[in-house]
Amino acid sequence: MSQEKISKIAVFPGSFDPITIGHEAIIRRALPLFDKIIVAIGKNTVKKNLFALEDRMEWIKIALKEFEDKVEVAAFDGLTMNFCKERDAQFILRGLRTSVDFEFEYSISQINRQIGDIETIFLFTDPVYTPISSSIVRDIYLHGGDFSSLIPKGIKLIKNEE
């Protein structure tokens, strides 16, 4: 009997405005769980992003360069579950920091399973990354502080001047 191996593909959706060492740690920890991880920037959120889409994608690529055969960076419009279908991804990957993250993720993950047949896999953050968020990095950036220890090495943040 032939047993065709189905690749386990996960989409890690977010704004990544910009990628932080918290995001990077989640991706690194998830690598052994999946054959491929697509880090996907959702384009049509109501949020106004500080950094340009192309820059945000480039910074993710720089951070995960050593895993370029397993980690792809993409952008998408519309529902995450539709993007997962387009890319044959069976899983959504999300990181959890606090109960606030949990409350937000809970119903979305149930809907993605009920109507999209997509399982969401949650990884609790390592405690050292609990206080780190893109919004904190943006705040420090905008007020001239030193955020360098909060973002992956080799990345130089430049604001979108459009």
| Residue 132 CB, nearest approach to ligand ADP (Å) | 4
Looking at the Cβ atoms of 16 and 34, the one nearer to ligand ADP is 16
Cβ closest to ligand ADP, residue 15 vs residue 112: 15
DSSP 128: G
Looking at 14, 34, 64, 141, which residue binds ligand ADP (CB under 6 A)?
14
Q: Measured between alpha carbons, how far is residue 6 from residues 34, 53, 78, 106 in Å? A: 11, 31, 26, 27
Query: Of 90, 74, 124, whose CA–CA distance to 10 is shortest?
Result: 90
Site for ligand ADP, residues 86 to 125, rule: CB under 6 A:
94-95, 97, 101, 125
Interaction between residue 138 and ligand ADP (CB under 6 A): no
Identity of the residue, 9 or 108, whose beta carbon is nearer to ligand ADP in the bound complex: 108
Is position 57 an interface residue for ligand ADP (rule: CB under 6 A)?
Answer: no
- The catalytically annotated residue of 7, 43, 47, 153 is 47
Q: Is 26 in the site for ligand ADP (CB under 6 A)?
A: yes
Q: Give start and end residues of each alpha helix (H) in 35-79.
A: 53-63
Q: Is 51 in the site for ligand ADP (CB under 6 A)?
A: no
Q: Which of 23, 56, 94, 138 is catalytic?
A: 23
Residue spans of beta strands (DSSP E) within the chain: 9-14, 36-42, 71-76, 91-96, 119-124
DSSP state, 151? Answer: S
Q: Please report where in the chains the tokens 């386990």 appear, as a residue.
A: 8
* Per-residue DSSP letter, 148: G
Assess whether 134 carries a catalytic annotation.
yes
* Active-site residue list: 23, 47, 97, 134
